[in-house]
């Protein structure tokens, strides 16, 4: 009996020393990343490219029953996520345009807690007209965008300048883990994480 009482008191002391801010093992979450592709060959094209402006729309497979909707118009892309094309097209992310010409890479990183995706991370290239190359074309500046997923609205949460920071992927994952699930689209402001660079500055405009 004395030994059981000792063990009980020891457990209580350990719990008190851990402090209220630390999660217990039972409440700890496991974060993970997995990847999908938005390359045209992996996606379903909607209609034919417009002959006037080259606009395209494609639906790409995602995770957990979600799809990724990529729309391009006038050399600018939007990326949204939903259960299907129709729901993805209604999300705030589907209306989130950057002013300069831009494009995304084909890899989408899905950030998940205990296997349930709650955010995506994707690399964007933002055209910088103030920094032309030798042929006079704008130089593309890299940036990572964190986008929150359902339940709730789908919208941009954070931008990480991939040129100004030496660890943009780590910063993006931490931003997703810390901010995405409690972010309120239309109310909270998209945050620039880490050092501010040319890409994140242009995106915030």
Other C-beta atoms closer than 10 Å to the C-beta of 92 total 15
Domains of the chain by residue range: 31-204
> Any bridge partners for residue 159, and if so which?
145, 192
pLDDT of residue 205: 78
Higher-confidence position of 181 and 11: 181
Q: What is the pLDDT of residues 134-147, one digit of tens each?
A: 898 999 999 999 99
State yes or no: pLDDT of 24 exceeds 60.
no
The predicted-structure confidence for 44-76, as pLDDT tens digits, reads as follows 999 776 554 568 999 999 999 999 999 999 899
Rounded Cα distance, 192 and 202, in Å: 11
- How much is the average pLDDT of 124-128? 97
Strand partners, 108: 36, 122
Q: Which residue has the higher pLDDT, 174 or 97?
A: 174
């Amino acid at each position: 009996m004395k030994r059981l009482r000792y063990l009980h008191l020891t457990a209580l002391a350990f719990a008190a020393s851990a402090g209220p801010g630390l999660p217990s093992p039972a409440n700890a979450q496991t974060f993970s990343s997995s990847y999908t592709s938005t390359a045209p060959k992996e996606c379903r094209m909607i209609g034919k490219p417009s002959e006037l402006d080259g606009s395209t729309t494609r639906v790409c497979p995602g995770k957990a029953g979600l799809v990724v909707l990529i729309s391009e118009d006038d050399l600018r892309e939007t990326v949204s996520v939903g259960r299907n094309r129709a729901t993805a097209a209604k999300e705030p992310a589907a209306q989130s345009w950057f002013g300069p010409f831009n494009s995304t890479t084909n890899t989408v990183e899905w950030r998940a807690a205990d296997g349930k995706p709650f955010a995506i991370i994707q690399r964007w290239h933002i055209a910088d007209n103030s920094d032309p190359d030798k042929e006079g074309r704008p130089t593309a500046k890299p940036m990572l965008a964190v986008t929150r997923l359902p339940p709730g609205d789908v919208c941009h949460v954070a931008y990480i300048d991939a040129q100004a920071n030496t660890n943009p992927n780590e910063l993006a994952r931490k931003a997703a883990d810390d901010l995405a699930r409690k972010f309120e689209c239309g109310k909270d402001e998209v945050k620039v994480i880490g050092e501010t660079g040319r890409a994140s500055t242009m995106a915030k405009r």
